[in-house]
Amino acid sequence: MNGHEKEKIIRHYIKSNIFGVAAYGGLLVCIIVFSIVPPFFGESIWTITKLSTLISDVIVMALMSVGAIFVYTLGYMDISIGKQVGLYATLMVIIGNKTGTLLWGILLSLVISLFIGLINGATGEVLKIHPIVSSVVIMMVLGGVSSIMYNNLGSRNISLKTIDYRIFKNPIFMLIVLITELIIITYLFNFTKLGKYAKAIGANPIVAQQSGINLIKYKIICYLIMGLCVVVASIFQMGYTGSASDSTGTGFEMNVMIALILGGMPLSGGMRSKVSYAIIGAFTLSLLNIGLPLIGVKPNQVYIIKAIIFIIVVLITCRKSKGMLPR
């Protein structure tokens, strides 16, 4: 093989894997920059404390983003995630304080998440409405329920009283849970018909249905998986401080969306979807959160740098080169 052919192959590889290349490249650049620059400011990202902060910052977002990958692969998004996290965390604290264990709160949260997954997954197909509408409705209902609960409690913030929740602050335990979830989701996504069908539905639902795929069944399963992952994320969200408030989970749905887009996930879903996008996006976003203040960036300047990086990344990964304007 001569040099010209090699160059052609490399060009073709980069062109066909532009999403992955840009996303992995972005993470790599972040790691390199935040490894080299902070020592000039007398800081380092490679200390136990900073790595623990990074893990605790990334854990909730990564757990949710990995779970959401199935739903985003369908070409949908769920904007009720934040309110779900808020409700589950609140229930875990309230029931935990009454029973002395987190188990019942977690079980109730699981039941609710399955119910929500069922509604979100089925309404689109059965009632012929866009699934984002059902997730808006669930967001509003859960938001209202949460407000009523805190109104009745007479407080905006509640804490665990007797339960020992230190385990949820342990970075090693966080990593173990994240890796376990990642392995399970990767297996389901890449090695079972569930993942293949989800991608097929995202790519073209009509063709998928014509091919004999049961749309309702697989959409519901995708939402159920995301629901379960949201419950796991809620445990860590609540467990990190041992408390919940009426603002717990606010904006999480948008953070998940930003992480996935930053990771290279196409919002239209389909065949180009990968689990790795969720992890890359979540880690890149958390690295920016942790790393930028270490190189002398003021907290309120972090937002604009993140926004500019986001725009640059999407201009590289999501730009449509020709034809009509994308919708």
**Residues at the site binding other proteins, with contacts judged by CB under 8 A:** 79, 123, 127-130, 133-134, 136-141, 143-145, 147-148, 151, 250-251, 254-255, 257-258, 261, 267-268, 300-301, 303-304, 306-308, 310-311, 314-315, 318-321, 324-327
Identify each DSSP E strand in the chain by its residue range.
157-159, 243-245
DSSP string, 242-258: TEEETTTTTTHHHHHHH
> Of 102 and 284, which CB lies nearer to other proteins in the complex structure?
284
> Of 112 and 141, which CB lies nearer to other proteins in the complex structure?
141
> Of 146 and 195, which CB lies nearer to other proteins in the complex structure?
146
> Of 56 and 135, which CB lies nearer to other proteins in the complex structure?
135
Q: Is the CB of residue 209 less than 8 Å from the CB of residue 227?
A: no
Residue 243 CA to residue 231 CA, distance in Å, equals: 15
Least gap, CB of 272 to other proteins (angstroms): 13
Least gap, CB of 77 to other proteins (angstroms): 9
DSSP string, 250-298: TTHHHHHHHHHHHHT--TT-STT--HHHHHHHHHHHHHHHHHHHHTT--
> Of 36 and 315, which CB lies nearer to other proteins in the complex structure?
315
Least gap, CB of 241 to other proteins (angstroms): 17
> Of 147 and 180, which CB lies nearer to other proteins in the complex structure?
147
Least gap, CB of 310 to other proteins (angstroms): 6
Residue 170 identity (one-letter amino acid): N
Contacts of 225 (CB under 8 A, 6+ apart): 67, 70, 117, 185, 188
Lookup: tokens for 231: 């419950």
Least gap, CB of 224 to other proteins (angstroms): 20
DSSP string, 138-171: HHHHHHHHHHHHHHHHT-SEEE-SS---GGGG-H
Residue 231 CA to residue 217 CA, distance in Å, equals: 21
Q: How far is CA 135 from CA 47, 202, 219, 286, in A?
A: 41, 18, 14, 26
231, HSE (Cβ side, Cα atoms, 13 Å): 23
Least gap, CB of 95 to other proteins (angstroms): 21
> Of 176 and 308, which CB lies nearer to other proteins in the complex structure?
308
Q: Is the CB of residue 84 less than 8 Å from the CB of residue 142?
A: yes
> Of 154 and 212, which CB lies nearer to other proteins in the complex structure?
154
Least gap, CB of 100 to other proteins (angstroms): 29
Least gap, CB of 264 to other proteins (angstroms): 12
Lookup: tokens for 269: 């879903």
